[in-house]
Structure formats: C-alpha cells, structure tokens
Amino acid sequence: MPLPSRESKKLSHSLKAKAVDLFCGAGGLTRGLLDAGIPVVAGYDTDNACRHAYEHNNTGAKFFTKSVSDLDGRTLANHYPKDHVRILVGCAPCQPFSRYTQGMNTKTDSKWSLLHEFARLVRELKPDIVSMENVPELERHSVFEDFLATLSDERFHFDEDEGKRIVYCPDYGIPQHRRRLVILASRLGPIELIPPTHNPDSYRCVKDVLRELPPLAAGEVFAEDPLHCSSRLSSLNLRRIRRSKPGGTWRDWPNELIADCHRAKSGKTYPSVYGRMEWDKPSPTITTQFFGFGNGRFGHPEQHRAISLREGAILQSFPQNYEFVKPGETSSFATIGRMIGNAVPVRLGEMVGLSILKHLREPLTVR
C-alpha cells in the first residue's frame, strides 16, 4: 500500500524524522532514542506519576496522560511535521505475557488488548517505521501473531527470523541479564537491529556501574541524591542478608532463618528470592519490586541491604542524574520502583534508535 504523496521520494540522512512513544512511562525508550539522535515529540501513558520524569529529562518531548485506547491516527498525525519520517514506537505493558504470571488467566487483564490498540494505530497513522518491544513470552500469544499480521498487511518489512527477535541485553552493553523481544519494521525497505556491541568477555557487570556509589545502610538515604536510598530491613531479614552469599540463595542459611513457605514443597521452586547480586556478573532482570530484598536476587553484593532505587535505575541504564521526582517532593518506593522496573532500558532504546538511523541513511525508495 503506497504512502500518500510520498511514492517516489528518495530517503537519506537529509530527510528529517520524528518519533512518538506509546506507553512511554518514565521515558527509558524516549531517552534512548534521543541519545541516538532521533527527536521524540510526544509520549503517551496513563500513569501521570511519570510526567515529571518524562518531560524533565527529555527536552522537547511532551507527556500526554491518555490511554492508547482513546487515541486515533489523526491525533498522532498532528505530532509529525510535513515531509518528516514518521516513527512510532512503544512497549505495551508486559504483565499479561510475563513468565511471572504463568498459570494465571491473564486474558481477563485489561492490558491484554493494548497491543491490538497499538496495531490499530499503526493501521490508522500509517507510520514509516515501527518499533515494538516486550517480553519474549509474548511470542506464544495470538495477539503477537495478530500484530505481525498487521505489519504484513500494511506492507512493512521486518525480520521474520524468530531467533533474531530476542535480544540479550548484555550483548548491547546493558549490565543486566534481561531478554527482550524487539520488532523493527519499516515501509521503506529491510531493517534490522545493529549487531551486538559486546561479547561475553566484555559484558558490563554490576561492579562496572555500582561499585563507586556511596555505601548505604538498610533504610538510609544519601543526602546528595535522595534516589540513592534503600528500603528498611526487619531484624530477621537483616540476619538473613548477613548470611547470604553473592549469587547464593536462602538455602545457604541456617535452618532457623528459612521461612516456612520455603520449607514447604512449593517453596523449593523459588531459589532466587532473598539472594545477593554478584559483582562480576550482570544483574538479574530488574523488576518493579527490585528494591525489596525478598523479591528476588536484589541484595547488594557486599552491603547488608537491597539495592537502592538509584542503583536499580543505573542497572536499567538510566543516566545517574535522571530525575524521577521533583526536588523537594516525596514518592513511595513502589511508585518509583514501578517507573524504573517497567522502563525499556535506555541503552536498548539507543540501540533501536541507532538501527533506525542506519536504516534511514541507506538510499531507499518508499514502496
């Protein structure tokens, strides 16, 4: 299907581009695109708590508190100047598809349909380039096949090799054992993610990004950076973390420290809770609950505490000065943890942006 009024235009780096970020959250993907050199003009999300983080750290990008279900292509089209390449990106909420919801009837979750809404906006807006990021488990669901079918129907080029869709974040310099599903699609011609920038011998590890941060005690706040704060620990959990080894589990504890739920047969399948990170390896996947010692292997490698909010943000490759809350205002661990854990790692967003720029710098003809 030809694009209106652009049928024979030659594309190169001289043609300008703008991006809109759906499900933008605190701006991880937007920040990455900006770092790559792609202007982002707008971000849409229903979580108004993200507004300050999104707009303060991403100059030129305006935050709109609106569900994609209430958006239409005409509204999105207003964000793109004439003769600009239209880039539409987004990471629909992944909770319905995550392995952490295995066994649950997630189709009753209202978030289940949001990828269908993304596809609808692709049909209505008819952007030139689309990028969609999510958890790898999404591939097992029919909504993903429907999304790919929309891209095919709209005559987008995208890599159909399933193996190339899954990105291992350490391959791109992100110090975190995180796997993500990344789709890049273009009407202008073949497009693919740039090759990995790192290999196992050069992976960035926890020590590379966290070692120099000021030490904290559990429940302490670093005066010069309020985000460098750690959650309190009960006296029992303080005893537990003191007996925890980097990379170990609760099975390393003496019997009197083991929780009743782990003594039960069902608890034996969760060995990674109450664990410490290791200095010489990438961190575990940062979730929205990373600030809690009992929520995964989120204990600091040496200090007797869970990692701080700032440390979680750094592991998500946010700049160390990224501001999530207005100075002088307070916000809960849960709110900021949600912003950080739900974000697309900034560095991954940058890799997507660099891939798009590489694609646009090649002489292509709109079909």
d(CA 281, CA 277): 8
Q: Which residues make Cβ contacts (< 8 Å) with residue 350, sequence separation at least 6?
A: 32, 33, 35, 36
Helices (H), the chain: 28-36, 51-57, 73-77, 114-125, 142-153, 162-165, 206-210, 235-242, 260-263, 309-315, 333-342, 346-360
Other CB atoms within 10 A of residue 72 CB: 12
CA angle 9, 11, 14 (to 5 degrees): 120
DSSP state of 276: B
Distance CA 110, CA 347 (A): 29
Dihedral of CA atoms 62, 328, 294, 260 in degrees, nearest 10, equals: -120
Residue with tokens 């990008």: 61
Q: Please say if 94 is a catalytic residue.
A: yes
Per the residue annotation, which of 50, 91, 94, 229 is the catalytic one?
A: 94
Structure tokens at 340: 């950080």
DSSP 8-state code for residue 25: T
Cite the active site residues: 94
